[in-house]
Structures are given as structure tokens and as C-alpha cells.
Amino acid sequence: MNFTKINELISYGVSNSTLHIHIVPTDVKNMLNSEGLKQANLKLIEALETIKTRPEIKDDNIKTIFAVSPILRLGALQEMFKKLGFSVSQTKSEKFLQIFPNAKSVYQASLPKSMLLSPEYAERALTAMQGEINLQNEARNSIQSNSLFHDTSPSQLNQSRSLANTMQIAKIGNRGQLQ
């Protein structure tokens, strides 16, 4: 299966009736700290919003969004997926256990395509993003109040613009209108 990169964390591919998402952490150790998890959550939402715009998702044969990985055994990642409506469980599938032969356990997350395209998903994504953005704003405000310099770096501005664009996309309903 060929995977298409969406962002530095997520790529996707299609096989039969399933759209597979692949988490590609460049630095697993950093991803597992609280800041890394916040970023991973936002990148997952961004990726799912992008997938909603791709032609593959319009294929009537696609029924499920699916991820499988040993890293999904981590409670924080499971919660991240569950907040968006995914069901998460440990898999005993020989096929997946062979893909990850050195893993102690392998977990899978699945989301019906109908859920991804629903207003309920849009609300879940918006709620999750707003929570992460509020946490980031609190942290930034705390840092700025303790700093001699109150300038925002170009990197922070780009990140803010990206988050604003993602939030705008999340507000767009299935009919392409702002809700």
C-alpha cells in the first residue's frame, strides 16, 4: 500500500474498503511528553480534516478509517483517538502481529467514515482543538509574562495561522457552509 503524507505526523493509504492512517512520529520520545501529545492531537485533527477533502473519501467503497500500531497501547494516545470518536482495542489479528513482530501488544483504532463526515465528529474535533489551543494559550501567556521579550516568533505566528485555518475547516459542515 502506498501512503500519502499529510503532515509530519500522519500519512494515509487506501486498501479495499479502508482508509488507513499511519502515525509517523519523527521523535517518539518527544511525542510522548505533554507538549508532544498536544501537537499530535492537533496534527491528527488536521490530518482527518484534510482527509475529508480528498477524493478517496468520496469513494462509496470506503467505509472505515483505521489505524493499527503498538504505540496505540499508550493510554494518552488512546484517549486522543477516543475523543474524536474512534473505537480503540487490542488486536489479536495474526496479520497485524506479524507486521509488528517485536511488539508486546498491538492496538487498533477505527472510525466509521459516516462518523468522520458527521456533524458530531466536527463538534468533537472543534472541542478537542479548542481545549488544546486554550492550554497552549495559557502556557504562552505564562511564558510571556515571565519573559523580557514579548515578541511572537515567525514560527509561533505560522502555527497560530495553521490552527486558525484548521479550526475554520472544522466549522465547515458537510454542505460546505459555515455552521
- Buried b / exposed e along 134-161 (16+ C-beta atoms within 10 A): eebeeeeeeeeeeeeeeeeeeeeeeeee
Among 85-89, 135-139, 152-156, where is mean pLDDT lowest?
152-156
What pairing do the DSSP bridges indicate for beta strands 10-15 and 107-112?
Answer: unpaired
Looking at per-residue pLDDT, the higher value among 38 and 135 belongs to: 38
Check: pTM over 0.75? Answer yes or no.
no
Name the average pLDDT for the chain: 77
- In this prediction, what percent of the chain has a pLDDT beyond 70? 67
Span 7-23, pLDDT tens digits: 888 899 999 899 999 87
pLDDT band at 84 (very low <50, low <70, confident <90, very high): very high
Q: Say if residues 167 and 160 touch (Cβ distance below 8 Å).
A: no
Interhelix angle 119-145/34-53, rounded to 10 degrees, is 140
Which is higher by pLDDT, 58 or 29?
A: 58
The tens digit of pLDDT for each residue in 95-110 reads 888 888 888 889 999 9
The cell numbers describing 12, all together, are: 494515509
Q: Which residue has the higher pLDDT, 29 or 106?
A: 106
